[in-house]
Amino acid sequence: MLSLEHIRTLCSGEIHIGEPLAPMTSFRIGGPADILIEPVNGEELSALVRYFRVIDASFVLLGNGSNILVSDEGIRGVVINIERHFSSLSFDDGVVTAGAGVRLSKFVDFCVRHRLAGAEMLAGIPGTLGGGVIMNAGAYGGEISDHMLDVTVLRDGIMRTLKKSESGFRYRGSDLRGDIVLSARFRFPEGDEEALKARRKELLLKRNAAQPVRWPNAGSIFKNPEGRHAARLIEESGLKGYAVGGAQVAEQHANFIINTGGATAADVLAVIRHVRATVRARTDVTLELEILLLGFAPEAIAFLN
């Protein structure tokens, strides 16, 4: 059984009991975590993960919470947040090394400042590097894995460095699910600082014009099916503005669900269910979720199978 006392001997960072998760997600939705811990380095994290394995306790990683929907009941057991203490960023011998907790916006700014081209298309993605690597985050024709050399992960409690070719990166995914990303290394081609700044600004403006930035959301809800646009399929199914409780298909971008105030996770799931069923009935396309669902009972999300 999970022992808080034992966790305290392994983790010198902060430990929160019954911590509300809604404020830690971009959707502003979700119940509390039984225990939220913030280990301060890889050794602590490794010891904690090995302990959880021994007692067969599950745990969940939380980055910046910008690509998840947490259930209204929250998450039973342990949530690990490494955002605060894994945020080192360096540039040596032409290689950028970034900790998993580094915000993508900081990573982009750092690369631009060092006249490195290829990260600027990630500007405006509101996550951490670790979450971005797991999801292979990308935008405007680029992905975070494009210029990656390798990624250091904890796998089964053991630290390993995997080459990019061993990580199975693909559209909004990787073979790293189940691992904990600790850091990643990149080698970018040289660029012109003013041109990179201009491109970053242009993409940020484009993003702000296209996305419903006024309301809490989790970015794109569904992956784009091969050769199609999820947003277009949803829009053409007449679903813009469709709402359940405080969750609504955004008028500005049909692949976004916005929290117009007081939305519950159940509201969001109901919208997801209706959108998928309607699009499938009209087009034969089954939309696949891009966001991750955390803390849900299997029966609550069985409709996704």
Residues contributing to the site for ligand FAD (CB under 6 A): 26, 60-68, 82, 100, 125-128, 130-132, 134-135, 137-139, 180-181, 211, 217-219, 292
Q: Minimum distance from CB of 152 to ligand FAD (Å)?
A: 11
Beta strands in 156-263 (DSSP E): 158-163, 180-186, 243-244, 247-249, 257-259
Q: Minimum distance from CB of 84 to ligand FAD (Å)?
A: 12
CB-wise, 27 or 51, nearer to ligand FAD?
27
Pairwise CA distance, residues 168 & 135, whole Å: 11
277 φ, ψ (degrees, to nearest 5): -65, -40
Q: Minimum distance from CB of 301 to ligand FAD (Å)?
A: 14
CB-wise, 77 or 126, nearer to ligand FAD?
126
Q: Minimum distance from CB of 302 to ligand FAD (Å)?
A: 19
Per annotation, catalytic residue among 28, 103, 172, 276:
172
> Tokens 């034992």 map to which residue?
6
Sheet holding 59-62, edge to edge: 15-20, 32-37, 75-81, 59-62
Catalytic annotation present for 160: no
- Sequence-ordered list of residues with C-beta below 8 angstroms from that of 303, at least 6 positions apart, any chain: 273, 276
Per annotation, catalytic residue among 19, 44, 143, 290:
290
CB-wise, 106 or 115, nearer to ligand FAD?
106
Sheet holding 257-259, edge to edge: 243-244, 247-249, 257-259
Cα dihedral value 297, 284, 264, 258, nearest 10: 140
CB-wise, 70 or 233, nearer to ligand FAD?
70
> Tokens 């469709």 map to which residue?
242
CB-wise, 16 or 280, nearer to ligand FAD?
16
Q: Minimum distance from CB of 172 to ligand FAD (Å)?
A: 6
Work out whether strand 180-186 and strand 158-163 pair parallel, antiparallel, or are unpaired.
unpaired
Catalytic annotation present for 290: yes
Catalytic annotation present for 207: no
Pairwise CA distance, residues 184 & 148, whole Å: 7
Just list the catalytic residues: 172, 220, 290
